Structure 1
Amino acid sequence: MTEKPETWTIRRVLDWTKGYLAEKGVENARLETEWLLSAALGLDRVGLYVNFDKPLNAEELSAVRGLVARRAKREPLQYVLGTQEFCGLDFAVTPAVLIPRHDTEVLVEEALRRAPHAATVLDIGVGSGCIAVALAKNLPDAQVWGVEQSAGAITLARQNVERHGVRVILCAGSLFEPFADQRFDLIVSNPPYIPTADLDTLQPEVREYEPRAALDGGADGLDFYRIIVPAALEHLNAGGWLMVELGIGQAEAVLGMFKQAGFTGCFTAKDLNGIDRVVGGRIP
C-alpha cells in the first residue's frame, strides 16, 4: 500500500513557520509569517484565514519555503518581500538602499508643515527615493531634486519615482557636488548617523544586510552634519529651510551646529517614541 503524502494546509504551514522563525530570533514571528505566506500565495491576510484548511500544492510549498528560508537567515522582511510602506506610499526596496523607517516620516511631516510653499527642494542621500517622492507627491508644483552617490540606489529611486508618477530629478554625486551654483527653498536629509563603533552591535537585519555606507556616520555619528549644515548656507534661498533626521541623543549637538552656522527658528521634532528625530532651521 502506498503511503499517503503529508498534507500541508495553510493553517499547518502558518503554525510551523511561526515557531521556526521565532526559534531563529525573529520578533513578531506570527505577523511576519502571515506576510510571507500572503506574498507567496498571492493572498491578503484575510484570504489566509478564509482558506485556513486549503492544502498547498508542491509549487506553493516551494514558494513559501524560499521566502521563509531567507527570513530565517535574518534577511529583513522588507527585502524578502521587496516593498516597504512610507507616508502611505509603497516603495520598492532592495539591499542597495536603507529600508525606509516610519521615524523618517517625521522629517517629511515637518518639511510640509514648515515649508508648504517651497518651489525648489533637495533631498541629500536619496536612497530609495522615499523622502523625495513623498515631498513631490505633496508639493505637486515644486521641483524636487535628489542626490545620491550609490548607482544601485539611484536605479531603484528612479523606479520608485516612475511608480508614483512624480517629478524628481536624480543626480549622481556626493552631498552638494552637482549643485555648485544652485539654491533651494528646502533642503532635507537623512544622512548616515550611527557611530562606527555601534555598527557591530545592531540587529543582524541591519548589520548584515543594509548598506553600511548609509549607516556609518563616523566616530560620533555626526560627520555628515558637520559638512551639510554649514555648506547648506550657500545653497539655500533667503528664508529657506534645512531639516535633517538624526539618531538618539544627537539633537543637542546638531542643534548647536545649526545655531553656530547662523540658522534661525531652529527646532527639534520628536518621533512617536518621544525621541528627538529631526532638527531644522531657516536662513534669515
Structure 2
Amino acid sequence: MTMTLQEALQWARLQLVTSPTLRSDSDSLLCHVLQCSPSRLIGYPEQQLTAQQQQQFVSLIEQRRQGIPIAHLTGSRGFWSLDIGVNQHTLIPRPDTELLVSLALEKVQPGMRVADLGTGSGAIALSIRSERKDIWILAMDYSFNALKIAKQNAEDNQLPLLFFRGRWLEAMQPGSLDIIVSNPPYIPSDDPHLTLGDLRFEPITALASGKDGLDDIRQLVRQSALVLKSNGWLIVEHGYEQSLAVQRLFEQSGFTEVQAFQDYGRRDRVVIGKRSASFELR
C-alpha cells in the first residue's frame, strides 16, 4: 500500500532531518510530483499516492538528501513574476538578485538599449522584458549551454530577447548602450563556501573570480565606461563585503552618482553609477 500525502511528508522530513529547509523542501518536491499547489497538501492529507508518484518522490528526496538543489530537481525556480528553467549550466536565481531588476526598471525609458551581461538562465533580462516591451534588450553570456537555457526560457515565457555569445563587452561598440546590468562572478576563488550547499552544483565559472572575487567586476566596469552612452547606467551585483571596493572601481573609471544598495537581508548587494557626460574615451 502506498503512502498518503501526510505520511509521505512525515517520511520525507525524517530523511531530511539535518536540512534547515526540510519542511519547504519536502513540500516543494511533493507538489512537483503531484503538479499541485501547497494548499493541496493541506486540504487532502489522506490522499494516496500512486505507486509511480511514490517512487518518484522517494527518488527526489534521496537526491535532495545528497545535496542536489531543489531547483535542479524540479528544473525551475521562481524569479520576479516568472518561472525560470535552470540546470547545472546556470546559476540558480536568488531573490536578492531581483534588486537588480528593480533598479534597472527605475532607470529605463522607452527606446533604450539594455544589456544583461553573464545572463545565465536569462532571469534578469527576461524579468526586465516582462515589465517593458518598449526597449531593446541583449542577453549575453560566454557559456553556450547557459545561452541555450536562456533561449528556452525566453520561448517558454513568450518574451523575445536578443542573444549573443561573448565575453563581457569585448564585441560591443563604444557608446552603444544605455544601461548595463550584471550579476557577475564575485566569490573569491579560495572561499570555502564554494564547497557547501547549492554552490557545489552550480558552474564555478559563474561563481568565482580571482583571489579577491573582483577580477570580472574590474573588467566589466572598465569596459562599461567605454561602451555606455553619456549618462548611461551600470548596475552590478557583488558580495556583501565588497561594496566599498566596487564603488572605488566605479569612481576610478569615471562613473558619477555612485550609489550602494542593500538586499532584502539588509546586506550590501548592488552598486550603480552613471557614465559622466564629460568622460573621455581613452
Tell me the TM-score normalized by structure 1: 0.93
Q: Tell me what 2:191 maps to.
A: 198
Give distance in 2, aligned partners of 1:126 and 1:188: 9
> In structure 2, the residue corresponding to 1:179 is in which secondary structure?
coil
Greater shift after overlay, 112-121 or 78-87?
112-121
> In structure 2, the residue corresponding to 1:177 is in which secondary structure?
coil
Greater shift after overlay, 252-261 or 174-183?
174-183
Q: Is the 8 A contact 1:171 1:178 kept in 2?
A: no
Root-mean-square deviation (Å): 1.5
Give distance in 1, aligned partners of 2:233 and 2:24: 40
How do residues 1-284 of structure 1 correspond to structure 2 at under 5 angstroms?
A: 6-22=1-17, 25-117=18-110, 119-180=112-173, 183-199=176-192, 202-207=195-200, 209-284=201-276
Tell me the TM-score normalized by structure 2: 0.93
Give distance in 1, aligned partners of 2:140 and 2:148: 12
Q: Is the 8 A contact 1:26 1:74 kept in 2?
A: no
Give distance in 1, aligned partners of 2:34 and 2:194: 35
> In structure 2, the residue corresponding to 1:218 is in which secondary structure?
coil
- Deviation, 1:199, is 4.4
Q: Deviations over 1:153-187 (max 9, x none)?
A: 00000011112222311101111133245610000
- Deviation, 1:111, is 1.2
Aligned length: 276
Give distance in 2, aligned partners of 1:170 and 1:99: 19
Give distance in 1, aligned partners of 2:234 and 2:252: 14
Give distance in 2, aligned partners of 1:200 and 1:109: 27
Q: Tell me what 1:3 maps to.
A: none
Segments of structure 2 that go 5 or more residues without pairing to the other structure are 277-282
Identity of aligned residues (%): 33
Greater shift after overlay, 126-135 or 37-46?
37-46
Give distance in 2, aligned partners of 1:148 and 1:273: 28
Give distance in 1, aligned partners of 2:110 and 2:219: 26
Q: Is the 8 A contact 1:195 1:218 kept in 2?
A: yes
Give distance in 2, aligned partners of 1:90 and 1:200: 27
- Deviation, 1:43, is 2.3
Moved over 6 A (4+): none
> In structure 2, the residue corresponding to 1:266 is in which secondary structure?
strand
Q: Is the 8 A contact 1:254 1:279 kept in 2?
A: yes
> In structure 1, the residue corresponding to 2:106 is in which secondary structure?
helix
Give distance in 2, aligned partners of 1:7 and 1:70: 20
> In structure 2, the residue corresponding to 1:123 is in which secondary structure?
strand
- Deviation, 1:202, is 4.6
